[in-house]
Homo-oligomer: A and B are copies of this chain.
Amino acid sequence: MKRRNTPSKQAVLSVITKAGKAMSQDAIEEEIAIDINRATIYRVLNRFCDDGVLHKVMAEDGKQYFALCETYDTKAATHQHFHFKCTKCDTVECLPNQVNFSIPDGYLVESVNCVLTGVCKNCS
């Protein structure tokens, strides 16, 4: 299943890149220039996640937010940094802070989902 280059792919990636923050499907659809079907946007996003281009964050509001993978976490395949979701502007951003944790013996951690919710700098 070789990936193909399509307008949808380009448009979605462009919007997220320009935004410089994590975005939900509906935010992307709003922001995007061309008309792309909802299901297609989700499929594009999930493919990007599979390919290590984006990573997915589940916020407290039960919605998925998608953000660019930085080069450093692409390699390690880990995205163990905090995210911040502002309740005023609904923005979700990746924080530079690494999540560090220690778990009891015998536990295997496969993914990390850490979201801080509150009010961002712009909104306070």
Contact = CB atoms under 8 A, between A and B. Distances in A.
Contacts of A84: 103, 107, 109
Contacts of A124: 106-108
Interface stretch (A11-19, A20-28, A39-47, A112-120): A112-120
Interface residues of A, number: 34
A65 to B, nearest CB: 12
A101 B107 contact: no
B60 A59 contact: no
A62 to B, nearest CB: 5
Contacts of A111: 60, 116-118
A62 B116 CA distance: 16
A67 to B, nearest CB: 15
B101 A119 contact: no
Interface string A73-107: 00000000010100100000001010101111111
A113 B82 contact: no
Given A58-B60, A59-B58, A116 B103 contact: yes
Contact of A113 (B87, B104, B114): B114
A119 B102 contact: no
